[in-house]
């Protein structure tokens, strides 16, 4: 809002449905619509133990599927003349032994990519989010780790400089500033 976007353009909890291409609509966590045009969309996710493995795989498929659906809907004009919107993904992961210790891989037929070998689930999230941003599925992503016993007191870490919340927010604010300057 400090960058020039009205607070009435920011939607949380309600009016967060956007059309999809492969489904009728999806409820996003944050949707910003300025002057009838989609400006930004953000997905917030959190994961706590104990089943980091199953949840990681589900979150991976969900994140990739959501982005694929979103960009196909954009390509097909679902957002009615909106310029390319900004899409962000923020992951809050419990900082716990189950998320930070190395995980083995199964390779019954083919070898996995080297970066996944002995990577913890936290590292796997880092790999996923970095690749999604570099492949331009998301404009920015953030990975924040926080222990369940100290997180409420504000304890957190950011294991990857590329995926800090500051970088995430800076990318969104820069888009907002650029947008507000072109609308004068």
How many DSSP H helices and E strands does the chain contain? Answer: 4, 7
Distance between CA atoms of 10 and 181, rounded to whole angstroms?
18
Query: Taking residues 126-146, what's their average pLDDT?
Result: 98
15 band by pLDDT with thresholds 50, 70 and 90: very high
Q: In what order do the strands lie in the sheet with 140-146?
A: 10-11, 30-34, 37-47, 86-94, 140-146
98 band by pLDDT with thresholds 50, 70 and 90: very high
Query: Taking residues 141-166, what's their average pLDDT?
Result: 92
- Mean pLDDT, rounded, of the chain: 94
């Amino acid at each position: 809002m400090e960058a020039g976007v009205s607070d009435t353009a920011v939607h949380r909890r309600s009016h967060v449905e956007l059309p999809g291409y492969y489904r009728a609509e999806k409820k996003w966590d944050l949707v910003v619509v300025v002057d009838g045009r989609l400006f930004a969309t953000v997905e917030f996710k959190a994961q706590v133990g104990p089943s980091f493995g199953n949840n990681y795989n589900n979150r991976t498929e969900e994140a990739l599927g959501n982005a694929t659906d979103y960009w196909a809907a954009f390509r097909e004009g679902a957002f009615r003349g909106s310029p390319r919107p900004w899409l962000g993904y923020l992951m809050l992961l419990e900082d716990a032994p189950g998320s930070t210790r190395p995980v083995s891989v199964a390779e019954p037929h083919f070898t996995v990519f080297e970066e996944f070998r002995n990577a913890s689930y936290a590292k796997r999230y880092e790999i996923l989010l970095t690749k999604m941003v570099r492949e331009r599925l998301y404009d920015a992503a953030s990975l924040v780790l926080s222990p369940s016993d100290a997180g409420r007191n504000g304890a957190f870490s950011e294991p990857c400089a590329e995926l800090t919340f500051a970088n995430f927010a800076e990318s969104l604010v820069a888009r907002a500033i650029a947008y507000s300057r072109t609308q004068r």
